Every structure is written in C-alpha cells, then in structure tokens.
C-alpha cells in the first residue's frame, strides 16, 4: 500500500528560524494521524506544506507517491478544515458546501444534490437552506467538514478544528470525527496541541518539538513508553525521575517516567513520602508528594481515606510502570 503522505528530509526555514527541520514521515492510507505539539513546534507548518500554503526549503513531499512541490494548492488531492470554519455568511449552508463544485462548473442541480448528501453524512440533513449565522458553533463546524469532504479528497487536513468549541461539544465532535473517518476510509491528518484529542482519536501520533519529530507511535506507545523527557512531560502528566533516584529505588540506570495514576497508597511496605499539597478531583485526588527529596505527583482513588498536608504516607507502584527513557 502506498503511503498517503510522505515527507523525505523536509525542512522549512523562515529566515534563520527552522520551523521544520529535516522531517521524515510516512502517513498511511486510511489512517487517522495526529500531529501534536506546543505552539511553534512545527506541526501546523507541516500541515500547510501538505496543503501547498507553504513551500519546503528542502526535501520532498509526496501524496500517494507523487511529488507535489510544483502542484498548486487547488490542484492537490487534499482539502482543509480550519478552526475558524471560513464559511461565507451570504451563502446558504448548501451553497457553502457546494462552493467548490460551483467553481468546477458542476451543474447546479447535481452540486446541490451532492451538498445534501454531504450534509446527511455530518448529520445536518435538511439544514441546507439556512444561513451560517442560524447555526450553533458545532453545526458550523459540521458544515465546514461537509464542504471539505464533498470533493472526496485523498487526504483531509484538520487544523485544530475543535479549538473554538466548548468542552462537552468538543468531546462529542471527537467521537463523531473518528466514526466518520472510519466510515469514509479517508486519510485524516489532524493538528492539535490538545493531548487528550490526539490520544482519543488518532491511530498514530507524531509529537513535534522545535521543528522536529520527537516520537511517532500509537497513543499507547506515546503515553506509556515515551522516548524522550519532552514527550514524557508534554503528553499527559508524568513524573520524570532523575537517574540517581531511579538507581536508589530500582537499581536500574537512567532517568525514568512514572505516570501519576500508576502510584497507589499502601498501608505498609512502600516508599515513605510527605504530602505537600492535595486537590480533590471528584473521582480521584491528586497528591503532590516529596519522596527522597524529589517532587512527585500521584493520582489516587478516594478509598485511601483522609490525609493531611505535611503527613507521611506509604506509596508503591509496579516495576513495569516505571519506564526507562532510553534516549535520555
């Protein structure tokens, strides 16, 4: 199977700033692929390089094994969904969705029929006559999605499309996007700085940092087996243990990652830690701890009972949950 998108040693410089630095990447056909990283890490620039809104300073980009450097954006077999929707306020919902077909001079009856089919796909059947101003934020996002899908692109690019939605609606749209991607089989490339979005939706994730890919893997690999200290700290919340402490507690060599939810409070036989702060989160309690002079975070269920700040407690975890960061 050909990769849907391939980066071969791709760089993009803005003056002396290396926005993307020698990135190699292969996104498979039919994959839901997330590009995750903080602002300025290079993920959005990579998306814009695929779309054709930026040109690489060096290297080569291919879509379905065909080089695309010299192909203008409107001729690439991709489409983009933006965070701000970019809908035309003076056009109806159906006219917005059918706009690309109008540009291609598709017959009006045919393009409006295809627009209605696309709206049905995103659960907006019957909304074609409305104006964007008559829709909620989530509905406008669905219209933008239908407009991007009507041309049946080989690759759909999503640039933080859920960022403007409130938490409950964002969580609903995450599940809808994943179900839609599975049903259509189109390659989705999703850019986000939200770790929970990437972990919950993506088949694979590329974690970006300072213009380079720090790690590529499944959500499970990225979360449980980070390859760098940056990935351990950025994806979720992790305790990164210094090498001296790892050696003291386990006899192993190197720094390690230990997720807060892997730590449990025990009656005896564990490591003695001092509670320095606590936060009730409903189903669990977050504890800040001092363990052998190092700061720790633990996420524990509420069955352990009340504990006072400044009090000692016993904590433990399974050896398998302490993940050595090989590259550190």
pLDDT tens profile 290-308: 988 888 899 988 777 778 8
Q: Give the pLDDT band of residue 327 (cuts 50, 70, 90).
A: low
pLDDT of residue 78: 94
d(CA 286, CA 58): 46
d(CA 276, CA 282): 19
3-state helix, strand, coil in the chain (%, to 5): 30, 35, 35
Q: What's the mean pLDDT in 64-71?
A: 93
CATH 2.40.50.140 for the 240-324 domain, yes or no = yes
pLDDT of residue 164: 65
* Domain residue ranges of the chain, discontinuous segments joined by +: 3-233, 240-324
Question: What topology is assigned to 3-233 in CATH?
Answer: Rossmann fold (3.40.50)
Query: What whole-number percentage of the chain has pLDDT above 70?
Result: 98
Q: Quick check: 137 pLDDT over 90?
A: no
Residues 247-289 have pLDDT tens digits of: 888 888 889 999 999 999 998 888 999 999 999 888 888 999 9
Helix (H, G, I), strand (E, B) or coil at 58: strand
């489409």: which residue's tokens?
79
Q: Quick check: 57 pLDDT over 90?
A: yes
Residues 226-245 have pLDDT tens digits of: 999 999 999 988 899 888 88
This prediction has a pTM of: 0.88
Helix (H, G, I), strand (E, B) or coil at 20: strand
Helix (H, G, I), strand (E, B) or coil at 29: coil
Cα dihedral sign for 50, 48, 230, 13? Answer: positive
Q: Quick check: 328 pLDDT over 90?
A: no
- How is 70-139 classified by DSSP, letter by letter? TS-GGGSSEEEEETT----TTS-HHHHHTHHHHHTT--HHHHHHHHHHHHHHTT-TT-TTS-GGGS-HHH
Burial of 110 (0-12, 13-18, 19+ CB in 10 A): exposed
Q: Name the residue among 248, 246, 260 with its Cα closest to residue 324.
A: 246
pLDDT of residue 248: 85
């Amino acid at each position: 199977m050909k990769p849907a998108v391939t980066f071969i040693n791709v760089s993009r410089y803005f003056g002396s700033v290396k926005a993307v630095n020698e990135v190699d990447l292969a996104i498979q056909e039919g994959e839901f692929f997330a590009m995750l990283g903080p602002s300025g890490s290079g993920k959005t620039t990579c998306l814009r390089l695929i779309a054709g809104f930026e040109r690489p300073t060096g290297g080569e980009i291919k879509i379905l094994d065909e080089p695309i450097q010299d192909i203008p954006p409107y001729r690439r077999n991709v489409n983009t969904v933006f965070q701000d929707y970019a809908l035309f306020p003076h056009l109806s919902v159906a006219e917005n969705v059918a706009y690309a077909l109008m540009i291609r001079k598709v017959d009006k009856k045919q393009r409006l029929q295809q627009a209605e089919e696309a709206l049905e796909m995103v659960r907006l059947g019957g909304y074609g006559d409305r104006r964007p101003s008559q829709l909620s934020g989530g509905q406008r996002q669905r219209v933008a999605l239908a407009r991007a899908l009507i041309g049946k692109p080989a690759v759909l690019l999503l640039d933080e499309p859920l960022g403007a939605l409130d938490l409950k609606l964002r969580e609903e749209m995450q599940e809808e996007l994943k179900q839609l991607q599975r049903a259509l089989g189109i390659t989705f490339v999703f850019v986000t700085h939200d770790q929970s979005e990437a972990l919950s939706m993506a088949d694979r994730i590329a974690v970006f940092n300072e213009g380079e890919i720090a790690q590529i893997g499944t959500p499970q690999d990225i979360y449980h087996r980070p390859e760098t200290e940056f990935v351990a700290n950025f994806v979720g919340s992790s305790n990164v243990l210094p090498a001296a402490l790892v050696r003291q507690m386990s006899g192993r060599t190197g720094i390690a990652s230990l997720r807060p939810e892997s730590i449990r409070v025990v009656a005896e036989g564990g490591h003695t830690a001092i509670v320095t702060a606590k936060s009730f989160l409903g189903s669990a309690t977050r504890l800040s701890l001092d363990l052998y002079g190092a700061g720790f975070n633990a996420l524990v269920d509420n069955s352990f009972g009340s504990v006072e700040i400044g009090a000692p407690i016993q904590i433990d975890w399974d050896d398998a949950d302490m993940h050595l960061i090989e590259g550190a």
